[in-house]
Structure 1
């Protein structure tokens, strides 16, 4: 079964099969490391999150997009995430 893509004004997104939610939430972080391992569960975030492989349309840069239901979770992710 092919994965459905999601097109927004800024990104073309490829959902992770590990997502438990299908939404693209308001708070977002583009990570310009397409092969970095992002384990959202170990960060113990309070709200819902989704992870996507992403192509940023403005410059066609590949990476990953993490979207967050809560702004506090976005701030915590930005503080804790370091690419491997």
Structure 2
């Protein structure tokens, strides 16, 4: 059974059950809206991605962390994402 949480030293992460890949990719976007609908496939990423519920350890802020394999996918997501 996989780990229920991942601790990166910066975030405590809880993987989304929708993830095809349970890894934290290099390019990260923290969304400080824990209940916002975040649907990475709707942004048309070219590479792999993962979504996590996240607790930022430095300030205790809860939100979501979207990680992308490709930098351009992270940039596209960050530019287009608007919380609902």
Runs of 4+ in 1 over 4 A off after TM superposition: none
Shift of residue 3 of structure 1?
A: 6.4
2:29 corresponding residue in structure 1: 29
Shift of residue 2 of structure 1?
A: 8.9
1:80 corresponding residue in structure 2: 80
- Unaligned 5+ runs, structure 2: none
| Cα separation, 1, equivalents of 2:30 and 2:78 | 10
- Unaligned 5+ runs, structure 1: none
**1:28-56 per-position Cα deviation (integer Å, ceiling 9, x unaligned):** 01100000001111111100000000000
Q: Count matched residues.
A: 84
2:63 corresponding residue in structure 1: 63
User: Is 1:16 paired with 2:16?
Assistant: yes
SS in 1 for 2:65: strand
Question: In 2 relative to 1, CA 2–72 (structure 1 residues): closer, same or farther, beyond 3 Å?
Answer: closer
Shift of residue 9 of structure 1?
A: 1.3
Question: TM (normalized to structure 1)?
Answer: 0.95
SS in 2 for 1:74: helix
